[in-house]
Amino acid sequence: MFDYPLDDRQLQNLLDGGTESENLEFKIAQNSFNKSNLYDYVAAIANEGGGKLIFGVKNDRKIVGSKVYQGTENKLPHEILQNTNLKVFVQPLYINKKRVVIFFIPPRPIGMPVASSGKYRYPMRAGESLVEMDTGTLQQIFSETEPDFSSEVISSLSVSDLNKEALSKYRLLWSQKANRKEYLNFDFTKMLRSLNLITEKGVTHTALILFGKKEVLNNFLPDTEIVFEWRQDLNKTNYDYRRLWRDPFILIYDQIWDVLDARNTKYSFQEGLIQRNLKAFDEKPFREALLNAVCHRDYKMRGHSIFIKASTDSYQIESPGGLVSGITLKNILLRTAWRNRRLAESLEKAGLVERSGQGLDDIFEISIRNGKGSPQLEEVYSSSFKITIPAKIKDEQFIKFLESISSEVDLSFEEILELERIREEAKVKDVRFRDKLLSLGLVEMVGRGRSTRYILSHKYYKGSNQAGIYTRLSGISREKYKELILKHIRENGKGKLRDFKVAFSELTPMDISNLLRELKQGELIIFDGDMKSGSWVMRKTT
């Protein structure tokens, strides 16, 4: 993977070096190669440790040349990324005027098989063929774990390299969380041994991150620094205020919040006769987001720091390292995994981190309940993870709506998140927890059949300046459509399907046909003439 690109001599050496193996796949592909098959082969090679897929070469390593994807090689990496979530390099190369195409394929992440959009969900190779990955292999991959950097020991360090003030503060937090007063009598060495933060061989990275003296951190983990930047406008290049910490985290945890809180503002809104105030920056979401960054960052990445960029509109916390293996932007609110388990466990024992993985849930729920909308999650080129948490209130009415619900029924985090999705999108086709939300009168169904959509109930729009929006979203009732059809037929003497398609462009042809059929069954109209030239007319009464 890391020998990209190859020159003709390196490729020839590769072809002369051995037979086709798990890390090398040859395809003749002289004129064409199905894209679906390409995605499957790329995923299969990644699932088996990564390697190279080479077009224009026979299994006996003889170069025959290939015209496949000629002129579109630059588009392939993006297409492969979209269909396998893998960053693959593609190189066309000419040897003796014969063109070969080389795909440089990375290994799959630890604990996560690579999926394909092709014929197979999780492809793997069986001889010269592809097959679906079996359950046993999948389970084996999912059970993999990354080495825990935070539990690794630095043999050259001892307790004397740790900050006594930080150790004392942690001991107090540990005692309070465990409700064990006797912990306060532990000397630092005994405490650290009880927490598995030191061994006979030395001090763990966790102990260094939480308690290390500044000069020791500078020597061993200079990238543990946390940088705070304030801008009145988040899009400005230059910051208005900047501060950097490279200290034991236990000592700076509160300081970082204090710096943001000093710039806090209040938003006021009226609820009846009462004026309510909400802060732009809520303490719990900020602390949870900061702790997530500290626990999940990749400390092996050099030259990268945790960055906090705040403005009056929002704040961002970006930490080095992409998402933990097995976690994606789609499942991040559903699955839990730690990159630095020992560090997370130590912060949990001090009462700072939720081991259950509820920290991110809390961030989202508080932001939504405060009418600020959902935070935004982003993986930046798989090298860092960013969360952006809004500061301004977007929807006062939604705050009141959720509060009125809470006084009547308990909703899960997932149900609150679903209500927020409907609020943002206004009208949605598929709704999780549909039956419960409908039965509670929190959402309403609009339309029928393929045109069925769901909106927030009238409870949300009532009493605000959004009543007109509700009328627009809920649309015309079924009975009203029937009245308009009858009115058209009475006034014009007849009505054709094409007339109603023009009149009711928001409906599908099937919806209109269903309305006409119901009017016919109600003996109000009949169809006169043949299917091609006939019309709907009023039924004569005797």
Residue 505 is predicted with a pLDDT of 78
Q: Are 491 and 537 in contact (CB under 8 A)?
A: no
What does DSSP say about strands 202-204 and 198-199: parallel, antiparallel, or unpaired? antiparallel
Verify that 171 and 189 share a domain, yes or no: yes
Judge whether 209 lies within some domain. Answer: yes
pTM of the model: 0.66
What does DSSP say about strands 202-204 and 153-154: parallel, antiparallel, or unpaired? antiparallel
Residue 467 is predicted with a pLDDT of 64
* Domain final position from 394, 419, 452: 394
Judge whether 1 lies within some domain. Answer: no
Verify that 303 and 401 share a domain, yes or no: no
Judge whether 15 lies within some domain. Answer: yes
Residue 1 is predicted with a pLDDT of 43
Verify that 446 and 507 share a domain, yes or no: no
Residue 405 is predicted with a pLDDT of 86
Say which CATH number the domain at 94 has.
Answer: 3.30.950.30
Rounded distance, CA 318 to CA 303, Å? 14
Q: What is the pLDDT of residues 168-199, one digit of tens each?
A: 999 999 999 999 999 999 999 999 999 999 99
Q: How is residue 328 written in tokens?
A: 């994606």
Q: Which residue has the tokens 């015309």?
A: 476
Judge whether 2 lies within some domain. Answer: no
- Collect all residues with Cβ–Cβ distance below 8 Å to 458 and sequence separation of at least 6: 444, 470, 474
Rounded distance, CA 103 to CA 91, Å? 7
Q: Residue ranges of the chain with pLDDT lower than 50?
A: 1-2, 19-21, 356
Verify that 14 and 108 share a domain, yes or no: yes
Give the relative orientation of helices 359-369 and 413-425 as an angle to the nearest 10 degrees: 50
Residue 109 is predicted with a pLDDT of 78
Residue 356 is predicted with a pLDDT of 46
Verify that 317 and 185 share a domain, yes or no: yes
- Collect all residues with Cβ–Cβ distance below 8 Å to 518 and sequence separation of at least 6: 482
Verify that 344 and 213 share a domain, yes or no: yes
| Rg of the chain in Å (alpha carbons) | 31
Residue 466 is predicted with a pLDDT of 67
* Domain final position from 90, 107, 142: 142
- How crowded is residue 540: how many other Cβ atoms within 10 Å of its Cβ? 6
Whose CA is closest to 260, among 210, 294, 226? 226
Host H or E run for residue 390: strand 384-390
Q: Are 424 and 374 in contact (CB under 8 A)?
A: yes
* Domain containing residue 531: 478-538
Count of structural domains, the chain: 4
Query: Is the peptide bond preceding residue 5 cis, with omega within 30 degrees of 0?
Result: yes
CA dist list (Å): 513 to 449, 491, 503, 539: 12, 20, 14, 17
Judge whether 343 lies within some domain. Answer: yes
- How crowded is residue 182: how many other Cβ atoms within 10 Å of its Cβ? 8
Whose CA is closest to 108, among 92, 124, 120? 124
Whose CA is closest to 371, among 469, 271, 473, 441? 271
- How crowded is residue 379: how many other Cβ atoms within 10 Å of its Cβ? 16
Verify that 121 and 16 share a domain, yes or no: yes
Q: What is the pLDDT of residues 419-438, one digit of tens each?
A: 999 999 878 888 888 888 88
* Domain final position from 474, 491, 520: 474
Judge whether 324 lies within some domain. Answer: yes
